[in-house]
Amino acid sequence: MKRMTIAVALVAASAFSGTALAQAKEQFVPANFYWVGPYAPGGSGFGGGIIDFMMMINERDGGVNGVKLTWDKCETEYNNARGVECYERQKNKGPTGATVVHPLSTGITYSILEKATADKIPVISMGYGRTDASDGRVFPYIFPLITNYWSQNTAKIKFIGQKEGGMDKLKGKKIVNLYHDSAYGKETIPVLDVQAKKYGFQVTHIAVPHPGNEQQSQWLQIRQIRPDWVILRGWGVMNPTAIKTAARTGFPREKMLGVWWSGAEEDVIPAGDAAKGYYAAAFNLPGTQHPVMKDILKYVYGKGKGEFTDKSRIGSIYHTRGVVAGIITVEAIRTAQAKFGKGKPITGEQMQWGIENLNLDAKRLKELGATDLMQPLKVSCKDHEGGGAVKFMQWDGRAWKVVSDWIPSDQSIVRPMIEESAAQYAKEKGIKPRDC
Amino acid sequence: MLYREAGQFKSTYAADQQIFPIRQDRIAVTLLLLVAFIGVPLFANEYWLSAILVPFLIFALAALGLNILTGYAGQLSLGTAAFMAVGAFMAYNFVLRMPWLGVIPSFILAGLCASAVGIVFGLPSLRIKGFYLAVATLACQFFVLWAIQRIGWFTNNSSTGVITAQTIEILGHTFDTPQSKYLLTLGIVAVLALLAKNLMRSETGRAFMAVRDMDVAASVIGIPMMKTKLLAFAISSFYCGVAGAMYAYTYLGTVEPEAFTLDLSFRILFMIIIGGVGSILGSFLGAAFITLLPIFLNVFFGALSHTFGLDISHAIVSNIELMIFGGLIIFFLIVEPHGLARLWQIAKEKLRLWPFPH
Amino acid sequence: MNVSFFFEVLIGGLLAGVMYSLVALGFVLIYKASGVFNFAQGAMVFLAALTFVSLLERGVNFWLALGVTLAVMVVLGMAIERVVLRPLVNQPPITLFMATIGLTFVLEGLSQAVWGSQPHGLELGIADVPMQWLADSTGMFISQFDLIASGVAAVLVAALALFFQYTRVGRALRAVADDHQAALAVGIPLKNIWAIVWAVAGFVALVAGMLWGARNGVQYALTFIALKALPVLILGGFESILGAIVGGLIIGASEKLAEVYLGPMVGGGIESWFAYVIALLFLLVRPQGLFGEKIIDRV
């Protein structure tokens, strides 16, 4: 017993001291995700994707220009306090510290925003997090890459316009915004109001209290409003419940449009047949047909490695989303290495430059074998979003079918709102925006 | 041998009634405070300070607040997180709208606001008892969060309901390093813990305990029921409110109302039950157990799989951590149903006799 | 005001209330028999539903899966009695409550470690769509799934009430609830009784898990339905089966009506706290819950 206690203490002490054996040719990327709790499907899927991709790069190319990628997993439980602990635990690991952090939670992104800026460690909040951080002048280290919530929302309205037969047809239409009653859920209320004014449709915001496993009254309200479309802004169990309750109250699922956090297999499978015909937004597409996914199957799963024991999850929405995060991470490292020295591990500060100068055009995507897995992306010092287009998918009862092209967002609405909101933050915190 | 009170004579009432009547206790507490105030900031790294010690201290303070209400006055509360939310958001508003006030007075005012809310939701305790009383505090828990999300004033009309705490400045000194934030937190917690320790030895504390042990009997011997119960709610909420303000200011910096969910209330309740109901020390031990153990397990299993190259799916490891955490809670309850504080007490008694047990 | 809409909200609320009652029943059973507020009930619902659905997906026959899951829940109940409760006989309720919290973590970890964290759909063969003839004749949309769920709840309550009232074991359960030591003194085998009641609670958890799982899918969030049962329990009284049902109906109906008619005036989302305020108002009149046992203080 005593000997065991000592052993436990020793192992723990060596881990707590936080000094991994530093080797010069390594690039450390923290894997702070969640494998337990209500949101484990998202956390383990996304985490699995990014790790699978990094493993593939190590196996296939021997790392980025010879620099091996390393990672350590840390369980955040989708809990802000645990997320901060993981961030602090991981930030000094590896020869150059944490390269970049993917918090995978809007709450954790908010909690580490200032710390990461002070520590000069970039935070990539891909498709979540603080929308106004797209203004890179005020938030140099925060990257809500690909598409933020507001941009996505303008694309959604465009998609609805397409379905209705033109943006002018939106006039007089009724849209209900059914949102999770949290910071995440409320994020799109202002932009929807602006669009409602611009296009002349009526928008009603209906809150669903957390966790959203009972929505009878919300859907009765919706039935009374008789909207033309319902935008679902849910998370976790709220999604299948909304779809099911829509079926119970006779609302057509072909008129329901979900945010991308309502659009994974895990959100529709529990709803069963009720989910047939339901639309959802996506900034990454599912499937294993892309060359990069084939490489993951070949170099990672083919060698008996890989994150999933359940092979059916390979190529799911969350998995490919993680792969996209991996592509962005690795490509940004590559970009930074090109400037600061090929084959050398880069620091967080250099990584910030790398992300800011990331340019994934169609040609590069083809080289990476990720055409159609994601959209081209060009980040700049001013624009920390980079892409801004969204595709839409429809659930056919078995799989997601892509039903639209990349629909670009309406930056004429979004950008001024972002700049205004960022400027207010800068004023409150006394930040002097960078010149870009 | 070392821990023996024989030969320590008290010649005055004051000496007899001091907080720590045994000399060794006084030395130990002084040493502990010295280490906490001087040693730790000198030697601990940023990870320990800002990710482990600061949240531990804040949760310990919240647990202390709940312990005053539940452990000493016997009123069950499941609304701790709501009182913390009131503290956090009111502190933000005081600093925002009355910047001349200073941070510490803002914290105190925020605590008092939490007290006011506590008194309102404590009123049903005059009629409802035991587990049923939980409903009043549960109503408080959900109502307060709802109100903070709905009424724009609380969050300065932030569209998402997220607030960013202002920089802490006291007497021209800016608290922005992990060391200074830790010291500020520690200072506040130490002062409030000392106050609580004293309060519980006073007439008020004894009245609380009388109400807890049997409220009918207490009212028969002339303890005013209304005043005592509401005072317990007020003091407890004050502690929780200050803890909430520090949660926003010295710990996370940015908070959303959802940070203060029922989950957090339950966690703090776990802390006092594991630590010891009706014990100041227990609040600290419980907070340490509940906040540090999951992290320890995570680190431990991470290191284990590194050293031995274990090839188990991480999802299973995470779930095993959860099971061990739950298992340890049950284990400690079976070993000592009265909490960790009681274990400490037993250890102390053993220590008195050591090494010659009769 | 539209009358048929009002009735639709009311009926929808009552039916939702029945679903809450189903979960509350499990709490009541254990509280009645052992005076423990079983925080782990939500985790038990989750474990039962997840085991059942995972077996189904592996091609096990429906009834066999049901039988196996039931067996698992019974074994689990006995194991809990042996490992957790027996060492804690005669401890204060708060300690037992805390032990069930530890149990919650163990059960959640166990179910996900064994079956994984992926959500599952569950099809019981009852269509969850509005009944067409009712919609045509009155304009009200009522799902037949809800009606069947209420039927199941009614049968369950009747069976449990009979069990408690008229069987030897049922009476022994009530004796144990009153006083552990006195029950032991008159020769009631405490450990068997506890094992039985936890097994029965496991069965109730399985029923609740199947119905809720068919509704929202079987996933971790099933544990959250315990929260929905909390105001129901407090309103109905912790030790009354009838209270769980009546409480569920009152909470369900009032929270839906409030959300639909009052909600829009104050920004919506009031469901989260309205149930507790209703429960609080009832308690101010009857401090031991609607059907709870009156406690008489003696000095």
Domains of chain A with bracketed CATH? 22-147+286-388+417-429 (3.40.50.2300), 149-282 (3.40.50.2300)
What confidence category does residue C167 fall into, taking pLDDT thresholds of 50, 70 and 90?
confident
pLDDT for B233 equals 95
Band of residue B304 on the pLDDT scale cut at 50, 70, 90: confident
pLDDT in tens, A47-97: 999 999 999 999 998 888 889 999 988 888 888 888 999 999 888 888 888
Counting as contact any 3 or more CB pairs under 8 A, the partners of C are A, B
Q: Which residues of B touch A183 (CB under 8 A)?
A: 160-162, 256-258
Which pLDDT does position C170 carry in this prediction? 83
> What's the domain count of chain B?
1
State residue C103's pLDDT score. 92
Q: Which of C21, C117, C132, C223 to mutate to test the interface with A (most CBs of A within 10 A)?
A: C117
pLDDT > 90? residue B235: yes
B99 belongs to a structural domain: yes
CA distance B10 to chain C (A): 37
- Does residue C292 lie within any of the structural domains? no
Residue B337 has pLDDT above 60, yes or no: yes
Residue A22 pLDDT exceeds 50:
no
Nearest-neighbour CA in chain B from C242: distance (Å):
17
Q: Is A178 on the interface with C (CB under 8 A)?
A: no
A contacts of C12 (beta carbons < 8 Å): 216-217, 220
Q: What is the pLDDT of residues C224-268, one digit of tens each?
A: 888 888 888 888 888 888 888 899 999 999 989 998 888 888 877
Q: Of A207, A240, A310, which has the smallest distance from its Cβ to C216's Cβ?
A: A240
In this prediction, residue A19 carries a pLDDT of: 45
CB contact under 8 A, A115 and B253: yes
Select the residue from B314, B321, B323, B328 to test the A interface by mutation, using most A Cβ atoms within 10 A. Answer: B314
- Please indicate, yes or no, if residue B268 is contained in any of the structural domains: no
* B5 interfaces chain A, CB cutoff of 8 Å: no
What are the tens digits of pLDDT across the range B139-194? 899 999 999 988 888 888 877 788 888 888 888 788 888 888 999 999 999 999 99
Per-residue model confidence (pLDDT) at position B174: 83
pLDDT at C65: 93
Give domain status of residue B358, yes or no: no
Angle in degrees, CA B187, B188, B191, rounded to 5: 85
Q: Which among A40, A41, A244 has CB closest to C215?
A: A244
Q: Which helix (H) or strand (E) holds A366?
A: helix A362-368
Q: Are A53 and A326 in contact (CB under 8 A)?
A: yes
Given a cut of 50, whether residue A20 has pLDDT beyond it is: no
Minimal CA–CA distance to A253: which of A369, A357, A395, A85?
A395
Q: Do C234 and B134 make contact, defined as CB atoms within 8 angstroms?
A: yes
Nearest chain C residue (CA) to B124: C284
B78 occurs within a structural domain: yes
Q: Residue A178's beta-bridge partner residues?
A: A206, A232
Provide the domain limits for residue B172. Answer: 22-261
> C93-126 pLDDT, tens per residue?
878 888 888 899 999 999 988 988 888 888 887 7
- Domain-located, residue B162: yes
Residue B353 lies in a domain: no
Q: What is the DSSP letter of B229?
A: H
A133 to chain B, any CB pair closer than 8 A? The answer is: no
Q: Tell me, yes or no, whether B284 lies in a domain.
A: no
Which helix H or strand E contains B342, and what residues bound it? helix B340-353
Virtual CA dihedral for A185, A187, A190, A196, nearest 10 degrees? Answer: -50
pLDDT at C285 exceeding the cut of 60 = yes
CATH number reported for the structural domain that contains residue C70 in this entry: 1.10.3470
Band of pLDDT at residue A16, cut at 50, 70 and 90 = low
Closest to A72 (Cα-Cα) out of B301, B55, B292:
B301
Span between the terminal Cα atoms of chain B, in Å: 13
Average pLDDT over residues A104-127: 89
Residues of A in Cβ contact (< 8 Å) with C19: 214
**Contacts of residue A43, Cβ cutoff 8 Å, sequence gap at least 6:** A33, A34, A35, A37, A76, A78, A104
pLDDT score for B115: 96
Q: What is the pLDDT of residues B49-93, one digit of tens each?
A: 888 899 999 999 999 999 999 989 988 888 999 999 999 999 999
Q: H/E element holding A180?
A: strand A174-180
The reply to whether C74 falls in a domain is yes
The DSSP bridge partners found for residue B314 are none
Question: How many angstroms separate the Cα of B179 from the Cα of each of A87, A387, B88, B176?
Answer: 18, 40, 21, 8
User: B148: distance to nearest CA of chain C, Å?
Assistant: 12
Residue A2 has pLDDT above 60, yes or no: no
Confidence check: pLDDT of A1 > 50: no
Residue C98 maps to a domain: yes
Would residue C111 count as lying in a domain? yes
Interface ipTM > 0.85: yes
Q: What is the pLDDT of residue B44?
A: 83
How many domains is chain C partitioned into structurally? 1
Angle formed by the axes of helices B134-150 and B262-275, to 10°?
140
Strands B168-170 and B163-164: unpaired
B319 touches chain A (CB under 8 A): yes
Sort strands A202-208 and A174-180 into parallel, antiparallel or unpaired: parallel
Q: Which pLDDT band, with edges at 50, 70 and 90, does B332 fall under?
A: confident
Which pLDDT belongs to residue A148? Answer: 86
Which residue of A84, A91, A187 is in closest CB contact with B252? A84
Longest dimension (CA), chain C: 63
Residues of chain A with C-beta less than 8 angstroms from the C-beta of C223: 38
Q: What percent of chain A has pLDDT over 90?
A: 29
pLDDT tens track for C180-206: 788 888 888 877 888 888 888 899 999
Residue B6 within any structural domain of the chain: no
pLDDT score at A332: 92
Give me the pLDDT at residue C85, please: 84
Comparing C-alpha atoms, which of A284, A319, A295 is closest to residue A58?
A295
- Whether residue B105 has pLDDT greater than 80: yes
What is the rounded distance in angstroms from the CA atom of residue A285 to the CA atom of residue A320?
A: 7
Q: How far is CA A407 from the centre of its chain?
A: 18
Rg of chain C's alpha carbons, rounded to an integer? Answer: 20
Q: Which amino acid is at B230?
A: L
Task: Please give the residue range of the domain that contains residue C208.
Answer: 3-285
Q: How do residues B262-278 score in pLDDT, each as one tens digit?
A: 889 988 988 898 888 88
Cβ contact (<8 Å) for A428 and B162?
Answer: no
Given a cut of 80, whether residue A201 has pLDDT beyond it is yes
CB contact A224 to C (< 8 Å):
yes
Name the residue facing C117 among A44, A217, A269 (closest C-beta). Answer: A44
Cα C293 to chain centroid distance, Å, stands at 20
Of the pLDDT bands very low, low, confident and very high (cuts 50, 70, 90), residue A10 is low
- Please give the C-alpha separations between residue A128 and each of A84, A106, A422, B251, in angstroms, as whole numbers: 17, 6, 16, 23
A5 at B interface, C-beta within 8 A: no
Which among C86, C84, C91 has a CA at the least distance from the CA of C40? C84
CB contact under 8 A, B46 and A88: yes
CA C139 – CA C132 distance, rounded (Å)? 9
CB contact under 8 Å between C9 and A220, yes or no, is yes
How does the average pLDDT of chain A come out, rounded?
87
Contact C118 A41 (CB under 8 A): yes
CB contact burial C185-212 (16+ within 10 A = b; e otherwise): eeebebeebbbbbbbbbbbbbbbbbbbb
**DSSP label of A317:** H
Q: Return the residue of B nearest to A181 by Cα.
A: B149
Cβ separation A44–C123 shorter than 8 A? no
Q: Which long-range contacts (CB under 8 A, 24 or more apart) does C255-260 make?
A: C255/A217, C255/C13, C256/A216, C256/A217, C256/A220, C256/C9, C256/C10, C256/C12, C256/C13, C256/C16, C257/C9, C257/C10, C257/C13, C259/A217, C259/A218, C259/A221, C260/A217, C260/A220, C260/A221, C260/A224, C260/C9
